[in-house]
Amino acid sequence: MSRNHKIAVLAGDGIGPEVMIQALEVLDVACAKFGFTVQREKCLVGGAAIDAVGSPLPQETITACKNADAILFGSVGGPKWENLAPDDQPERGALLPIRKYFGLFANLRPGVCLPALTHASPVKNELIPNGFDVLCVRELTGGIYFGKPKGRREENGDIVAFDTMIYSKSEIERICRIAFTAAMGRDKRLVSVDKANVLACSVLWREVCTEVAEDFPEVELTHLYVDNAAMQLVKQPDSFDVMVTGNLFGDILSDEMAMISGSLGMLPSASLGQQGANGLYYGMYEPSGGSAPDIAGMGIANPIAQILSVAMLLRHSLGESEAAEAIEAAVNAAIASGMRTGDLYTGEKGETKATTAEMGQAIITALSI
Ligand code: IPM
Ligand code: MN
């Protein structure tokens, strides 16, 4: 397999560009250390693209993404574009079309709270003495987000608006396979989250998930209703290993998970399409947190989510697992050494308050050893 790779880099808005600089420097060091190359094509996206060319997702950006092995995404959106029509806003106008266009149906959102950082979690620390490590697998191109019909009409002098929640057996099956496979590489426990006491979609979801489970006899499968799952996540997050769910529930639960993990600045994510014949996926990789306009340009944002997104990209899209592991280890080493960006800093002994660049450099130092 060739080790000369190509990615599209879409830094976007807010803190996107400044954390991207650190992530690309980490990538440079990983390339040199592990002997591969990654050519990058920088493209406009989001509000930056609206300002420059009038569209949140210009055709040139789509073309560059098509010609690449994967997309490294920063973040999009901010107050400047908040008054645009919903479909023209950077978040919806860029993210949803990219997901649909490239068929990125599997969204992996790890929610990790390192034992050293439990203080940053809003969950009572006695409930999570060892932190936790949950992987949310969210279906990303179906369900109520994209179901037709969608719209509004007049009805008896009133106005009604409607969305359609629809899932096919094949859509459920492929996302469940991804989740079971992920569970096989972890603690072999999978929770499927639905609302089968109310929704027809969820009844099918449960049936199909149970059927797929037959191919993964080692994985322990349980089902939770989404309301209960939301409660269990804050009560005992460490009881979860992998969670699989539909688009809307996954949107909500993954944000809850991100919040309880302590800092949005720590969490990467991957959105994957079909697996290729070489075992790799085309995918888009981005921090779980947003563009954080309140701290953009100040050089204090945590670059770790973006750096760990590079690690996920290396693993799932480029087949450079060794480099991915080394980057993840370097992040853990930087945290262990006491480096803390503002979102994690408490002022305790042993902590060093770090800027975006200092955190990036600490990770590079650890990676270079
Ligand atoms: C996310 C975001 C998007 C979603 C929005 C911006 C369309 O909240 O990636 O979770 O709802 O999927
Ligand atoms: Mn969301």
> Under CATH, which architecture does the 122-261 domain have?
3-Layer(aba) Sandwich (3.40)
- What pTM was estimated for this model as a whole? 0.97
Give residue-wise pLDDT tens across range 144-166: 999 999 999 999 999 999 999 99
251 part of the active site: yes
- Judged against a pLDDT cut of 90, whether residue 202 lies above it is answered with yes
Catalytic residue among 69, 145, 194, 241: 145
Q: What's the rounded mean pLDDT across residues 324-329?
A: 98
Ligand 1, atom 12: closest residue by C-alpha: 251
Give residue-wise pLDDT tens across range 160-192: 999 999 999 999 999 999 999 999 999 999 999
Whole-angstrom CA distances from 194 to 142, 190, 215, 234, 247 are 14, 13, 21, 18, 11
- Helix or strand run (H / E) with residue 207: helix 200-213
**Is 251 a pocket residue for ligand 1 (Cβ < 6 Å)?**
yes
Tell how far the Cα of 1 is from the centroid of ligand 2, in angstroms: 35
Tell how far the Cα of 288 is from the centroid of ligand 2, in angstroms: 8
Nearest to 94 by CA among 167, 8, 7: 8
255 part of the active site: yes
**Is 92 a pocket residue for ligand 1 (Cβ < 6 Å)?**
yes
Nearest to 10 by CA among 79, 63, 54: 63
* Beta-bridge partner residues of 6: 39
Tell how far the Cα of 347 is from the centroid of ligand 2, in angstroms: 31
Q: What is the reported pLDDT for 263?
A: 87
Q: What is the reported pLDDT for 67?
A: 98
Nearest 5°: phi and psi at 60? -60, -35
Catalytic residue among 251, 281, 282, 343: 251
- Judged against a pLDDT cut of 90, whether residue 326 lies above it is answered with yes
- Helix or strand run (H / E) with residue 175: helix 169-184
* Other CB atoms within 10 Å distance of the CB of residue 146: 16
Q: What is the reported pLDDT for 1?
A: 79
Give residue-wise pLDDT tens across range 237-254: 999 999 999 999 999 999
Tell how far the Cα of 105 is from the centroid of ligand 1, in angstroms: 13
Catalytic residue among 195, 282, 285, 343: 195
Q: What is the reported pLDDT for 13?
A: 98
Which among 76, 99, 105, 251 is the best mutation to test ligand 1's pocket, defined by most ligand atoms within 8 Å of the CB? 251
Q: Which atom of ligand 1 is nearest to the CA of 247?
A: 12
195 part of the active site: yes
- In the chain, which segments carry CATH 3.40.718.10? 1-108+264-369, 122-261
Those residues with Cβ within 8 angstroms of residue 142's Cβ, 6 or more apart along the chain or in another chain: 105, 166, 167, 168, 171, 246, 247
Average per-residue pLDDT in the chain?
97
**Is 286 a pocket residue for ligand 1 (Cβ < 6 Å)?**
no
Ligand 1, atom 10: closest residue by C-alpha: 251
Tell how far the Cα of 72 is from the centroid of ligand 1, in angstroms: 16
The Cα 258–Cα 341 span in angstroms is 17
What single-letter DSSP state applies at residue 220? E
Q: What is the reported pLDDT for 134?
A: 98
The Cα 174–Cα 274 span in angstroms is 9
Those residues with Cβ within 8 angstroms of residue 207's Cβ, 6 or more apart along the chain or in another chain: none
Ligand 1, atom 7: closest residue by C-alpha: 92
End-to-end CA distance of the chain: 27
Q: Does the domain made of 1-108+264-369 have the CATH classification 3.40.50.720?
A: no
Catalytic residue among 150, 227, 235, 294: 227
